[in-house]
Structure 1
Amino acid sequence: MRPVKTAVFPVGGQGTRFLPATKAVPKELLPVVDKPLLQYAVDEALSAGIERLVFVTARGKSALEDYFDVAGELVASLKAKGKTAELAVLDTTQLEPGRIAYVRQQEPAGLGHAVWCARFITAGEPFAVLLPDELLWSPENPCLKQMNEAYERVGGNVIAVLEVPEAHTNRFGIVDPGSVDGLLTQVRGLVEKPPQGTAPSRLAAIGRYILQPECMTKLAAHKRGAGGEIQLTDAMAELIGHQPFHAMTFTGDRFDCGDKAGHITANIALALAREDVGPQVREWLAARNL
């Protein structure tokens, strides 16, 4: 069983639900408190032992590259002013040269297509996929770290899931479950956004995947699925029965930051957990009986 050392971040979306902000700022750089969404996902990947980060971008997303670059003038200014705390914060955004690669998704053909664009960098090795607008919050035991521990037990393919209300199953890729062992559920099938009332369970994929290289082979067929797009769920479904495939129920909090309400909720929840801003936010909420 080969370790997972590469993570793919599909970050080419236009973020139209957050216009007009995303006219100038990629949605992946929208902050939750004071850290961009993408930084949370990168930190999660690094905590799981990921060594190579692949960002699948699109035209107009050059700000993502700038974010992880060395801000020379800013660093020099902070050093001159002796602002060591601010310099330490910047250090978390600057990885050693060569750990980040950028590839372009030249057409918006779906999540599966975005992942396939990274095929030459994953180079026949197992890889992780993280969707940054899914903020999975578990600071003591991040989601991908939980998944990696499961992967070391069972191998094959592992996806993160949570139970969602029956009324929401048509918004997700849904697991057809088999046997259950604690937080691990054997996956017998996957259905992308099933019509209301047809879902085989309430276990929904939540934007974290550990996949074997054969998934790239399936994606290379460019089969169109739901919405006329190349769906990652469809490629994964073709691996079931040929390789071990499990769903791991995530223990932590999920915030859908691709949605305005979810993004606002994440800001409030993470702010309340912070010692520096939590008391003021709590006081404001209490004053309004919220």
Structure 2
Amino acid sequence: MAPSKVRKAVIPVAGMGTRFLPASKAIPKEMLTVVDRPTIQYIVEEVVASGIEEIILVTSAGKQAIENHFDYDFELDTILSRKNKKKLLEEVRHISELIDIVAVRQKKPLGLGHAIWTTRNVVGDEPFLVLLGDDLVLSTTPCCRQMLDLYEDVGEAIVAVQRVPMEETHQYGIVEGEQVRDGVLRVERMVEKPAPGTTDSDMAIIGRYLLMPEIFGLLEQTTPGHGGEIQLTDALQALAKKR
């Protein structure tokens, strides 16, 4: 039996962006420009190129610029039309027509796991993608498309990883597991920012996940960690133990 189709992608953009200060003091970090467009637009374009039908943004206070960027702007449209700025007009219209986007508010800064949990009623009983709003992944085939292709084969939750220097593993969520084929590991253990010397793995989680709806129940059962935050990695570790 073929696995359920993945139609939705969650993009958490509620974080304060303190690592990007002072640039992110008045501008959401996801709106900081890379070359000619905001970071978040690259993320959304990856989702669109992967065949997803709907995006769920997890937002917080002060993030209205993100929603506005993908909305239709009648006043701007009118001005560009009057000035015969055809190329710019085409571009801004294209941005507003990329994909259906809804927003869910994360009312308290309780971590990535909590941000994902807030989307439970919108996601429903379906598998879904998660893309972190400030993590760019450059590849010939979109990272999400690669994950969807693998999902069609294995029908399980998937986490994207990359190798990092061993001396930097304490800065990432780390995956330990058994290689089942080229480029694919079966997860045995996941740990968020392990202390130096406590893992032999150099496989770091990057901001791409494909999750089953059962993750919402696991997130509800996850004990909050430092600062009261609910870590997605802890819920994924619980999921790995069940498999």
TM-score norm. by structure 1 comes to 0.79
- 3-state SS, counterpart of residue 112 of structure 1: helix
Of the candidates 59, 62, 66, which is equivalent to residue 61 of structure 2? 59
Deviation digits for residues 163-207 of structure 1, max 9, x if unmatched?
A: 000011111111111133011111111111110111241001001
The reply to whether residue 36 of structure 1 matches residue 20 of structure 2 is no
Aligned-pair identity in percent equals: 46
The reply to whether residue 178 of structure 1 matches residue 171 of structure 2 is no
Check the 8 A contact 1:113/1:222 in 2, yes or no. Answer: no
1:77 corresponds in structure 2 to: 79
2:237 corresponds in structure 1 to: 237
CA distance in 1, matches of 2:85, 2:178: 55
Check the 8 A contact 2:32/2:38 in 1, yes or no. Answer: yes
Check the 8 A contact 2:106/2:118 in 1, yes or no. Answer: yes
1:82 deviates by 2.3
CA distance in 1, matches of 2:15, 2:216: 20
Alignment of 1:263-274 (within 5 A): none
1:116 corresponds in structure 2 to: 117
Distance 1:216 1:35, change over 3 A: same
Distance 1:234 1:222, change over 3 A: closer
CA RMSD in angstroms comes to 1.6
CA distance in 2, matches of 1:114, 1:214: 15
Q: Which amino acid aligns with 1:45?
A: V
CA distance in 2, matches of 1:74, 1:37: 21
Unaligned runs of at least 5 residues, structure 2? none
CA distance in 2, matches of 1:227, 1:147: 32
Unaligned runs of at least 5 residues, structure 1? 244-290
1:103 corresponds in structure 2 to: 104
- 3-state SS, counterpart of residue 237 of structure 1: helix
2:47 corresponds in structure 1 to: 45
- 3-state SS, counterpart of residue 79 of structure 2: helix
1:134 corresponds in structure 2 to: 135
CA distance in 2, matches of 1:92, 1:36: 15
1:251 corresponds in structure 2 to: none
CA distance in 1, matches of 2:237, 2:200: 14
1:169 corresponds in structure 2 to: 169
CA distance in 2, matches of 1:242, 1:44: 31
Check the 8 A contact 1:177/1:200 in 2, yes or no. Answer: no
1:20 corresponds in structure 2 to: 22
Check the 8 A contact 2:12/2:59 in 1, yes or no. Answer: yes
Q: Which amino acid aligns with 2:117?
A: W
Q: Which amino acid aligns with 1:238?
A: A
1:274 corresponds in structure 2 to: none
Q: Which amino acid aligns with 1:5?
A: R
Deviation digits for residues 73-125 of structure 1, max 9, x if unmatched?
A: 1111212222221122213321378x211111111111101111111111011
Report the number of matched residues.
Answer: 241
Check the 8 A contact 2:225/2:231 in 1, yes or no. Answer: yes
CA distance in 1, matches of 2:134, 2:194: 22
1:226 deviates by 5.2
1:214 corresponds in structure 2 to: 214
Q: Which amino acid aligns with 1:212?
A: M
CA distance in 1, matches of 2:179, 2:98: 43
The reply to whether residue 159 of structure 1 matches residue 159 of structure 2 is yes
- 3-state SS, counterpart of residue 199 of structure 2: coil
TM-score norm. by structure 2 comes to 0.94
CA distance in 2, matches of 1:41, 1:62: 17
- 3-state SS, counterpart of residue 56 of structure 1: strand
Q: Which amino acid aligns with 2:135?
A: E
- 3-state SS, counterpart of residue 132 of structure 1: coil
CA distance in 2, matches of 1:169, 1:239: 22
Check the 8 A contact 1:8/1:53 in 2, yes or no. Answer: yes
